[in-house]
């Protein structure tokens, strides 16, 4: 049994480890076009900001460690084609310029997503970046040497994390967002102004409702961003306006894509092409609340999918149960989390949704340093089904209680049952009636 894996980060390496553990006799080979495997891309903004010391700190396993476990790892090897009939892939050794044909019995395409690079004038100027992989982060760090002003385009979670981390480096930061506010993919409109307030409080110059028209430069280096609201001067520009799934290989193999543009896979992470699997950011998954196929590219999801694919490719039978759309991030002192559906998303799907908002403190009000926490809980009228929750809090760690809501959504729980839960209580951690219980009681 020869298992070939394309892409060596979260999904690819989870699959490789699992496959080898399931069938130690299987030959497992990973082709990675870059120079790194098995690292936490989620930590990239924090290396730039200094909370993480070195790029290497993000690496969980080195190629040597993987080889020690009997997994073949080929860095700098790009898979450029798939012949699903012959069960071979074409591999380009980038350094040597050599092309080889490699056979497989099972193939996993775990190629992730690419950052969207809009069709603006002069995006090839030095000092213009995206942030997806370690070399992107290293290139940004190089550009920042001697820079005073950074312009971040995009107010999604990566743009917001970057804004915080650039400020921590003492840089002057302008954040441009086309929409009227930031965090639009995460929170309902009523909750988004808190993000703007936090960014403003820390000196980020946020310009919402601003459309980028092009980049301008001098002697091949960026000097500013041309917008519909005028010129924004910048020494470095980071574009964080979204991602698109890397599905070229899957398409070439004859694999079906879903409506989202990501790979359509079954619960075993198998595509419609015999022997070809896909996992991670390039895949759709089942949303357990809506029962629809969604593309929500996140780290745990990629690892979970990779694990399932690895077991199945090695001859096992594992199923990926889906996601509930849980995400969490921090902007300066603010924690932000959501799971399930927002009120806006539920309404757009035609659900008879209702939400309650509760503001309380993250732990007992009489205990030192109690900070405000805001919770919106959304349920379905008539059925009493829990649909989702959003949390924003001034103690970032306190929004991790989103996991309670996520767990309840996974089991398709009702609002009433959430209220009846035996949640942990002591004054340093929560009020005796935790804010989630208060919200569930009001929504019930």
Q: What are the catalytic residues? A: 42
Considering only 4, 66, 73, 110, the residue that binds ligand FAD (CB under 6 A) is 110
To the nearest whole angstrom, how small is the minimum distance from the Cβ of residue 415 to ligand FAD? Answer: 27
DSSP characters over 159-215: HHHHHHHHHHTT-EEEEEESSSSS-TTTS-GGGTHHHHHHHHHTT-EEEET--EEEE
To the nearest whole angstrom, how small is the minimum distance from the Cβ of residue 371 to ligand FAD? Answer: 22
Considering only 3, 29, 41, 215, the residue that binds ligand FAD (CB under 6 A) is 41
DSSP characters over 28-90: EEEEESSS--SB-GGGHHHHHHTSS--GGGGBSS-HHHHHHTTEEEEETEEEEEEETTTTEEE
Beta bridge partner(s), residue 390: 338, 376
Instruction: Compare residues 330 and 408 and give the one whose CB is closer to ligand FAD.
Output: 330
DSSP characters over 281-300: TTB-EEBTTT--EE----HH
Burial class (CB in 10 A: 0-12, 13-18, 19+), 277: buried
List b or e across 218-240, with b for residues whose CB sees 16 or more CB atoms inside 10 angstroms: eeeebbbbbbeeeebebbbbbbb
Compute the distance between CA of residue 195 and CA of residue 210 in angstroms, rounded to an integer: 17
To the nearest whole angstrom, how small is the minimum distance from the Cβ of residue 59 to ligand FAD? Answer: 12
Residue 325 is a binding residue for ligand FAD (CB under 6 A) = no
Compute the distance between CA of residue 439 and CA of residue 386 in angstroms, rounded to an integer: 11
Eight-class DSSP state of 269: S
Instruction: Compare residues 227 and 327 and give the one whose CB is closer to ligand FAD.
Output: 327
Residue 29 is a binding residue for ligand FAD (CB under 6 A) = no
Instruction: Compare residues 40 and 70 and give the one whose CB is closer to ligand FAD.
Output: 40
Residue 112 is a binding residue for ligand FAD (CB under 6 A) = yes
Residue 278 is a binding residue for ligand FAD (CB under 6 A) = no
Residue 132 is a binding residue for ligand FAD (CB under 6 A) = yes
DSSP characters over 375-398: EEEEEETTT-BEEEEEEEESSGGG
- φ, ψ dihedrals at 250, nearest 5°: -65, -40
Taking Cα atoms as reference points, which of 390, 383, 374, 392 lies closest to residue 417?
Answer: 383
Residue 44 is a binding residue for ligand FAD (CB under 6 A) = yes
Residue 4 is a binding residue for ligand FAD (CB under 6 A) = no
Residue 51 is a binding residue for ligand FAD (CB under 6 A) = no
In sequence order, the 6+-apart residues with CB closer than 8 A to the CB of 17 are 66, 69, 71, 310
Considering only 19, 58, 82, 158, the residue that binds ligand FAD (CB under 6 A) is 158
To the nearest whole angstrom, how small is the minimum distance from the Cβ of residue 441 to ligand FAD? Answer: 31
The C-alpha torsion from 129 through 133 and 134 to 135, rounded to 10°, is -50
Residues 296-315 that bind ligand FAD (CB under 6 A): 297-300, 302
Considering only 4, 29, 66, 79, the residue that binds ligand FAD (CB under 6 A) is 79
To the nearest whole angstrom, how small is the minimum distance from the Cβ of residue 12 to ligand FAD? Answer: 5
To the nearest whole angstrom, how small is the minimum distance from the Cβ of residue 376 to ligand FAD? Answer: 21
How many residues make contact with ligand FAD (CB under 6 A)? 35
Residue 100 is a binding residue for ligand FAD (CB under 6 A) = no
Contact flags string 213-252 toward ligand FAD, x per CB under 6 A: ---------------------------------x--x---
To the nearest whole angstrom, how small is the minimum distance from the Cβ of residue 292 to ligand FAD? Answer: 20
Considering only 4, 5, 12, 20, the residue that binds ligand FAD (CB under 6 A) is 12
Interface residues with ligand FAD (CB under 6 A)?
6-12, 31-34, 41-42, 44-45, 78-79, 110-113, 131-133, 158, 246, 249, 280-281, 297-300, 302, 329
């Amino acid at each position: 049994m020869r298992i070939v894996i394309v892409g060596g980060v979260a999904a690819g390496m989870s699959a490789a480890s699992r496959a080898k553990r399931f069938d130690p006799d299987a030959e497992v080979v990973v082709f990675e076009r870059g120079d790194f495997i098995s690292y936490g891309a989620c930590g990239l903004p924090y290396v730039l900001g200094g909370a993480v010391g070195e790029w290497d700190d993000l690496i969980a396993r080195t190629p040597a460690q993987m080889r020690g476990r009997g997994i073949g790892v080929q860095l700098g090897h790009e898979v450029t084609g798939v012949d699903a009939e012959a069960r071979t892939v074409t591999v380009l050794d980038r350094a040597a310029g050599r092309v080889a044909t490699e056979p497989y019995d099972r193939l996993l395409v775990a190629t992730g997503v690419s950052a969207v690079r809009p069709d603006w004038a002069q995006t090839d100027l030095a000092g213009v970046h995206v942030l997806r992989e370690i070399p992107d982060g290293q290139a940004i760090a190089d550009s920042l040497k001697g820079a005073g002003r950074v312009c971040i385009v995009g107010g999604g979670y990566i743009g917001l994390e970057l804004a915080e981390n650039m400020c921590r480096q003492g840089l002057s930061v302008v954040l441009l967002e086309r929409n009227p506010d930031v965090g639009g993919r995460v929170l309902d409109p009523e909750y988004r102004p808190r993000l703007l307030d936090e960014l403003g409080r820390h000196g980020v110059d946020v310009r919402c409702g601003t459309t980028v028209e092009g980049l301008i430069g001098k002697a091949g280096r960026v000097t500013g961003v041309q917008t519909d609201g005028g010129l924004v001067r910048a020494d470095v520009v980071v574009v964080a306006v979204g991602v698109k799934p890397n599905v070229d290989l899957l398409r070439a193999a004859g694999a079906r894509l879903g409506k989202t543009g990501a790979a359509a896979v079954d619960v075993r992470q198998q595509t419609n092409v015999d022997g070809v699997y896909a996992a991670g950011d390039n895949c759709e998954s089942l949303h357990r609340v809506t029962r629809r196929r969604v593309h929500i590219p996140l780290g745990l999801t990629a690892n979970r999918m990779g694990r399932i694919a690895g077991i199945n490719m090695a001859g096992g039978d594992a199923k990926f149960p889906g996601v509930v759309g849980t995400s969490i991030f921090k902007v300066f002192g603010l924690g932000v989390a959501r799971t399930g559906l927002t009120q806006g998303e539920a309404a757009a799907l035609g659900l008879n949704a209702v939400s309650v908002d509760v503001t309380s403190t993250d732990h007992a009000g009489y205990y030192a340093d109690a900070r405000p926490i805001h919770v919106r809980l959304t349920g379905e009228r008539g059925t009493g089904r829990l649909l989702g929750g959003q949390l924003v809090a001034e103690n970032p760690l306190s929004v991790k209680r989103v996991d309670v809501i996520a767990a309840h959504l996974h089991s398709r729980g009702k609002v009433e049952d959430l209220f009846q839960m035996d949640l942990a209580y002591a004054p340093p951690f929560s009020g005796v009636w935790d804010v989630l219980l208060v919200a569930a009681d009001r929504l019930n």
